[in-house]
Amino acid sequence: MGKSIKPDAIVWVHPFGAEVPIFDDIDRMDRFYRKRWGIKTDWDRATFGTAGRCYDKNGVARYALFIPSTANLGLIVHECSHIVDFVMHECGVPISLKNTEVRAYMLATLFCDVCHVLNRGDDE
């Protein structure tokens, strides 16, 4: 059996419990998607960071973040924002002015969780 591909960290988007593996290498993120979920991806290799959403063979949305070690806090919150929008859409929560509080809480929690598991933000 081949070597297991593991993310650098994993966080969950609350309150929906969506799993979000985090990688500092986009090629490893790609291999993870293929090996774990059987999903072929085509990430933009020229990007500074990526919020990924793809669907497995059962139609289940699968998420991941590519956050390089050189990423600043602005890039991290930017990519977290995409993940929050993806999860809200998948869970049927409209992204509108009526739901800004829900989105803001989800984004704040996800951003803090990502910074915590990556040990980022306290000294920046």
**In this predicted model, what pLDDT tens digit does every residue of 29-65 receive, in sequence order?**
999 998 988 888 887 777 789 999 999 999 999 999 9
Which pLDDT score is estimated for 3?
74
Residue 27, pLDDT above cutoff 70: yes
Query: Helix count (H) and strand count (E) of the chain?
Result: 3, 4
Which pLDDT score is estimated for 43?
78
Query: Which residue type occupies 63?
Result: Y
Whole-number Cα distances in Å, 75 to 65, 90, 97, 117, 122: 11, 23, 24, 16, 16
**In this predicted model, what pLDDT tens digit does every residue of 88-115 receive, in sequence order?**
999 999 988 988 999 999 999 999 999 9
Which pLDDT score is estimated for 42?
81
Residue 124, pLDDT above cutoff 60: no
- In the chain, what are the domain boundaries? 9-117
Is residue 1 very low, low, confident or very high in pLDDT (cuts 50, 70, 90)? very low
Between CA 62 and CA 101 the distance in angstroms is 24
